[in-house]
A and B are shown apart, each in its own frame.
Chain A
Amino acid sequence: MPSFKPVPFRLPAGLVEVLATFGIIAVIGAITLSIMGASPVAAGLAAFHGTLDGTYEIAGVVALSLPLIIVGFGASICFKGGYYNLGLESQLILGAAAGSIAGYYAGPLWSPFHITLVLVCGGLAGAVVAAVIAWLRVHLNVDEVVSSLLSNYIVILFAIFLATYPFRDESRFNGAMHRILPSARMPTMISGTELTWGVLFVVAVSLVLFWIFHRSKLGQDWALMGRSVTVARSAGIDVKKFGMMIMTSSGFLAGLAGAFMISATQHRYFANLALGLGFDGILIGMIARYRIPAVVFWALAYSWMLLAADGIEQEVGIPSEFAQVVIAIVILGVAVRLGLLQWVRGWRQRWFKSSGTGSLPAMRMFSANREGR
């Protein structure tokens, strides 16, 4: 006779994580706002009005998140493979510049083709930079953390040079390229907003990457590279080829994110465009712990926080820079949450000697498993 055991109701772990995070945001936000002398309730309402109250606002959050999602993927896949491409910032910017050039000088063409051309050119520009760094890493053992980080200066200044001299729009004061042709611009999805049909492209990229990294053989070997290069080598993986592929594809995604910005919203590259976006992507990849769906979620959450801060600034008068401090605290909290959990559990065990449930795998620190390569 079958016996029926009541299954205890449990929230899925991901949902708990999400609820806890937003709980923390609400509490820290309320406390800091009170210190600043503003009403947390008014601020909360302002944040809601600014970001979630209506199609226009929600479209704004989504539109802002799209390039972040793509560059977040770039960060995730290279960290997952055990390589630390910190040049995503400049690869994104060079991708934007390359996309901008392709959008103005090539064409006019059939629009879907022209948009594709812009995206591919941007991706390739990022990929070329990353491939150079990868080659130095794989063949000459130059630490890619250092080389990619320092490459940012060179590549960003090169992009600014392109905008200031050879490809400059003479009609503008500062270094800025020409506005891309209409055939290279993504069509608007909701009029009056910055949301374009490019959202479908991002959805497609997400699905493909989800399949590759969470289901396919390629993703499994990719993860093995990140866990142990020597084991990967003994398993028969060509670690040099894989290393090149990991770095280059992350550079491609960064460049793609830059070109996507050009085609979807900015329509031209100019000096200082998208500064910091690559590092935001690295942050998102790390918070999401290199999982594709989590990158989408955290990129959306991140842009929501940015726009909520703007809303609060407009309605309550708290500077949005201050809100960014709150965001930084929240992100720090999220990033160390596993370590915190373990720490709390350790103390509980010490004092209460409760029956152990085993410990969580230690959070993979930024530099974990870098040795031995």
Chain B
Amino acid sequence: MTSAPNSTEICVELKGITKRFGAVVANEDVSLDVRSGEIHAIVGENGAGKSTLMSILHGMQPPDSGHILIDGKERIFHSARDAIALGIGMVHQHFMLAPSLTSAENIVLGYEPGTPLKSNTRDATALVRELFDRFDLQVPPDTPVRELAIGAQQRVEILKALHRGARILILDEPTAVLSPEEVETLFSRLRNLRSSGITIIFISHKLREVMALSDRVTVMRRGKTVETLTTSQTDQNQLADLMVGSSVSSDGKPRPVPASRVRESVLRLQSVRSPTRPGNSGLKDLDLDIRSGEIVGIAAIEGNGQSDLMEIAAGVASPSAGQVFFRGNDVTRLHVGQRRALGLAYVPEDRHRDAIALDSTAAETFLSTRRPQNWIDWLRPAMSAADKARIADLMQDFDVRPADPDVLCRSMSGGNQQKLVFARELADNADCILLGQPTRGIDIGASRALFERIWRSRDKGAGVLFLSADLDELFSVADRIVVMFDGRIVSELDPQSAAPRDASGFMTGAAHAVL
């Protein structure tokens, strides 16, 4: 599976790192050592402090106390530039790329060849091609980044770090945005990088990936490191236990109970179209019917129209042709606010773009979807004491930490932000629930809690549309899987009889001709 690290020399050592944000302790007395030339995984639930620890290691924020030793020497980082100078590179979960610049330009950005007054594209392209060869990573150098697929954009990020001389590469949840095939490609490339001497720190909460890729793994829980294990001497169950802190195993998920009888349609899309754009196929005469009491899973690779489908179903975007029916009524012309009033819940795919404004408080985020019915409602107080108490209760109920309605979203971890969105959308027992990548960036415990709620709503008669990039998750949660390719539905699978492997053929279009 994985080869043993070729040396036991320690290249990164963190000792007693503590970091507080106000009253929130993100890291408490964390110690970590990473050997050169290994793939070191760091796992933990949301808010366990993984990202904070890595941003400290990358010099983006100073620790309150503790020491950072690189190659045995204590270092103090004043900015990310100091860390980069020592060969520490980072690939963020949200890519930091200029969409209109080409791959080559993005890779050399800030570290261009030539003098400050004179730098030229030809040198940059040559340099980038050399990088491609050296690390066996390929991207089209002259294509603007916005036209690249997510996996290629990630390679641009990795190449950017390598161009800056990184020999220690930190990858923050790199697989969260990738399709199964892209994950495989990424892993084989990371193994290649390891053989060329690059040390990789891999942050994840997907235990299967950690088991497949890493040499050693460090488990974090509630801001502390729990244990560092050699991957070949542990298993998923042990890691899950360490992460959660109790004997909760990730195995043995209950299969969903299919609805006893098929009931009336909740949300129906009829011949819906949306325009083709770079990197997005749009929708091509798509028909989809979501019935009461069923969970419809959508399996598709990024850019095959599933995002358009979600937005059109929610009423955030309008289709260029076709109609949307909610409980038999034509709602094509109604926007998302009006559809929410009819009983629709919508968890957008991109949390920071669409679901949460970071400068809002939790309570403001919660109340933002409340739509005034007439003009006097606009002038009423935005929040009553009763509203606040209810929000605090719901935050408790959905395990949002801290459960304080006045806390700024910016200071919450990504997983807690997402749980806040769940609390907002699922509090009112909607008839139709649209979930766009709901478990992206959240931990096993929170995903399980969400699925329990979804199954309960389904059993009460809600229709659910569930979009996820994780096929295992789709197959264990949904009652019916639709596979999309190039803006069309190419296949429908029953998770009881089919396996994730069956879907991936349709997702890439390989099995398209058979249909």
Residue A237 CB within 8 A of the other chain: yes
* Interface residue SS majority, chain A: helix
> A236-B335, A350-B62 given as contacts; is B357 within 8 A of A217 (CB)?
no
Nearest-neighbour CB distance to chain A for B345, whole angstroms, equals: 12
> Is there an interface contact between B65 and A353, defined as CB atoms closer than 8 Å?
yes
Residues of B within 8 A of A372 (CB): 353
With A230-B354, A238-B335 known as contacts, the answer to whether A349 contacts B368 (CB < 8 A) is: no
Residues from chain B with a CB closer than 8 A to the CB of A271 are: none
Is the Cβ of B316 less than 8 Å from the Cβ of A233?
A: yes
Q: Which B residues are CB-close (under 8 A) to A230?
A: 353-354
* B interface residues, how many (CB within 8 angstroms): 43
Whether A140 is near chain B, meaning CB under 8 Å from some CB there, is no
Q: Decide if B282 is an interface residue (CB 8 Å cutoff).
A: no
Known: A234-B355, A235-B369, A236-B336. A227 touches B378 (CB 8 A): no
What is the chain A residue whose CB lies nearest that of B346? Answer: A234
Is A361 an interface position by the 8 A CB rule? yes
Q: Is the CB of B338 within 8 A of A236?
A: yes
A234 to B316, CA, bound (A): 6
Partner of B354, one of A216, A234, A358, A361: A234
The one of B314, B359, B383 in contact with A361, judged by C-beta atoms closer than 8 angstroms, is B359
**Distance of A372 from chain B, by nearest CB (Å):** 7
Partner of A356, one of B20, B358, B410: B20
**Docked-complex contact B359 and A349, CB < 8 angstroms:** no
| Cβ contact of A217, chosen from B335, B358, B381, cutoff 8 A | B381
Contact residues of A between 189 and 247, Cβ < 8 Å to B: 211-212, 215-221, 223-224, 227-228, 230-238
CB 8 Å contact bits of B5-32 with A (1 = contact, 0 = none): 0000000000000011110000000000
Asked if A349 and B62 sit within 8 Å, CB to CB, the answer is yes
Known A350-B62, A361-B410: A218·B359 in contact at CB below 8 Å: no
Q: Which residue on chain B has the smallest CB distance to residue A231?
A: B357
Cα–Cα distance between A349 and B360 once the two chains are bound (Å): 27
Q: Are A219 and B335 in contact (CB under 8 A)?
A: no
Q: Which of A211, A220, A228, A353 contacts B367 (CB 8 A)?
A: A220
B368: contacting residue among A212, A219, A221, CB under 8 A? A221
Whether the Cβ atoms of A237 and B380 lie closer than 8 Å is: no
Q: Does A357 count as interface, using CB distance less than 8 angstroms?
A: yes
Per-residue A-contact encoding for B331-344, CB less than 8 Å = 1, 0 else: 00001111010000
Q: How far does the alpha carbon of A111 sit from the alpha carbon of B364 in the complex, in Å?
A: 44
User: Does A3 sit at the interface, judged by CB under 8 A?
Assistant: no
A372–B378 CA distance with the chains assembled, in angstroms: 26
Q: How far is the CA of A237 from the CA of B367 in the complex (A)?
A: 12
Q: Mark B402-420, 1 if CB is under 8 A from A, else 0.
A: 0000001011000000000
The interface residues of chain A lying within 8 Å CB-to-CB of B381 are: 215-217
Q: Are B372 and A217 in contact (CB under 8 A)?
A: yes
Contact call B369/A215, Cβ cutoff below 8 A = no
Least CB separation from B19: chain A residue: A356
The answer to the question of A55 belonging to the interface, with a C-beta cut-off of 8 Å to chain B, is no
B223 near A: Cβ within 8 Å? no
Residues in A neighbouring B364, C-beta threshold 8 A: 220, 223-224
Contact with A along B50-82 (1 / 0, CB 8 A): 000000000000101100000000001010000
Contact of B371 with A by CB under 8 A: yes
For A215, the chain B residues whose CB sits under 8 A away are: 381-382
B370 at the interface (CB under 8 A from A): yes
- A141 an interface residue at 8 Å Cβ cutoff? no
- Select which of A350, A355, A361 is within 8 A of B78 by beta carbon: A350
Tell me if B356 counts as interface (CB < 8 A to partner A): yes
Say yes or no for B461: interface residue by CB 8 A criterion.
no
Within 8 A of A (CB), among B454-500: none
8 Å CB contacts to B: which residues of A316-369?
349-350, 353, 355-358, 361
Task: Enumerate 27 A-B pairs (CB-CB under 8 Å) in ascending A order.
Answer: A217-B367, A217-B370, A217-B378, A217-B381, A218-B372, A220-B383, A223-B364, A228-B353, A231-B353, A231-B356, A231-B357, A234-B314, A234-B336, A234-B355, A235-B368, A235-B369, A236-B340, A236-B369, A236-B371, A237-B337, A238-B335, A349-B62, A356-B19, A357-B22, A358-B21, A361-B410, A372-B353
Q: Knowing that A216-B381, A356-B19 are A-B contacts, what are 8 other residue pairs whose CB atoms are under 8 Å apart, sorted by A's residue number?
A: A212-B379, A215-B382, A216-B380, A220-B383, A233-B316, A238-B337, A357-B22, A358-B20
The 3 closest A-B pairs by CB, nearest first: A236-B337, A227-B357, A218-B378
